[in-house]
Amino acid sequence: MEKKQCPRCKTLIEPMPILYGLPGPEMVLGAQAGKIRLGGCTVEPESADYVCPECDAALPWVRQPGDDDGIEDDALGAYWPGDAGASPRQ
């Protein structure tokens, strides 16, 4: 996956996918290897698809607007309640 700059820690990172559901052996191995993150069995509307491996920030910007995954695009801003207007350098 293309590297992106984390909006929180500003590190150039490869977004780490979060997999939801009861983890099987492969998912556990992947998590132990640091390739994926286990998101648990419950998928909330706010659940992110990816996290930053450096600072654990949820990364809603990996999603493409209009993705047919049942998440309202308008809800994406809710991932960053503390960051609204907190980026004076941009």
Residue ranges that bind Zn ion, judged by CB under 5 A? 6, 8-9, 52, 54-55, 57
**Pick 6 or 48: Cβ nearer Zn ion:** 6
Q: How far apart are CA 18 and CA 3, in angstroms?
A: 16
Residues facing residue 4 across a β-bridge: 13
* Minimal distance, residue 50 CB to Zn ion, in Å: 11
Residues 6 or more apart from 54 whose CB is under 8 A from it? 6, 9, 11, 13
**Pick 16 or 52: Cβ nearer Zn ion:** 52
Read off the DSSP letter of residue 29. H
Nearest to 76 by CA among 54, 49, 52: 49
* Minimal distance, residue 13 CB to Zn ion, in Å: 6
* Minimal distance, residue 34 CB to Zn ion, in Å: 15
**Pick 54 or 63: Cβ nearer Zn ion:** 54
